[in-house]
């Protein structure tokens, strides 16, 4: 279940004081709150974690819709760049990650599918929300569906030998790790939920189980 944090909790996560966070928020250089209540702003824990990570990794995020290229930020609106999509592969724009319109569309479909919602890493969805690539109502619908749908019960110990290595990590986190290694391609997921599940299971089966030392 996703946890929500207010001003004090978000500041504590970043090891800031409330005054500093309030100043960032007033200046418009902090992630947009998931909700704005009378008692103050509310974020998801994943939003704050993603913001903290993005400040430290040095990777620039770009989005292009086939026509325009935008630079994405976790703490302010996207910036339209006057370059062609292929230009972002030039050395001056490295290191970078490019998000395409197709990828955003695929995420939107998966976010609203009860059979697919648990295959998505919550940090990835929070990143898309922070970047301004999905709307508040879409994020809210995703969180509601995630909370009320039942997670798949995979037997990693019996089928894949992963129980000791992963320690019960969610399937979405496993897929994010495999995607980072180039083993899993999110854009290659079939649109049909049943075919997507089959594809993911084949990916997981193809990854060798880690060697476990005797006595561990």
pLDDT tens per residue across span 159-212: 333 332 333 334 555 566 667 667 767 667 666 656 766 676 676 666 554 443
Residue 212 lies in a domain: no
For residues 71 and 79, is the Cβ–Cβ distance under 8 A? yes
pLDDT tens per residue across span 31-80: 999 888 888 899 999 999 999 988 877 778 999 988 899 999 999 999 99
Q: Which residue has the tokens 């995703």?
A: 142
Task: Provide the domain limits for residue 163.
Answer: 156-206
For residues 129 and 47, is the Cβ–Cβ distance under 8 A? yes
Closest CA to 125 of 108, 113, 137: 108
Rounded to whole angstroms, the Cα distance separating 72 from 24 reads 18
Of the residues 99, 132, 148, the one at which a domain ends: 148
Helices 45-57, 122-131: crossing angle, 10 deg rounding: 70
Total of domains in the chain: 2
Same domain for 166 and 136, yes or no, is no
Rounded to whole angstroms, the Cα distance separating 109 from 9 reads 32
pTM beyond 0.85, yes or no: no
Residue 19 lies in a domain: yes
Same domain for 97 and 190, yes or no, is no
């Amino acid at each position: 279940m996703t946890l929500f944090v207010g001003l004090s909790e978000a500041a504590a996560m970043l090891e800031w004081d409330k005054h500093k966070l309030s100043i960032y928020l007033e200046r418009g250089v902090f992630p947009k709150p998931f909700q704005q209540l009378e008692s103050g702003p509310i974020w998801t824990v994943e939003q704050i974690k993603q913001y903290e990570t993005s400040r430290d990794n040095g990777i620039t995020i770009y989005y292009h819709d086939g026509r325009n290229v935008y630079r994405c930020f976790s703490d302010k609106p996207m910036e339209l760049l006057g370059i062609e999509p292929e230009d972002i592969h030039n050395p001056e724009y490295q290191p970078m990650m490019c998000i395409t319109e197709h990828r955003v569309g695929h995420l939107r479909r998966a976010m609203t599918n009860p059979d697919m919602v648990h295959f998505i890493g919550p940090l990835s969805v929070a990143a898309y929300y922070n970047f301004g690539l999905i709307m508040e109502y879409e994020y809210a619908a995703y969180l509601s569906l995630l909370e009320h749908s039942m997670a798949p019960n995979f037997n990693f110990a019996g089928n894949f030998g992963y129980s000791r290595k992963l320690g019960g990590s969610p399937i979405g986190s496993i897929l994010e790790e495999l995607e980072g290694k180039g083993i899993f391609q999110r854009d290659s997921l079939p649109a049909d939920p049943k075919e997507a599940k089959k594809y993911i299971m084949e990916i997981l089966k193809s990854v060798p189980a880690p060697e476990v030392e005797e006595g561990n």
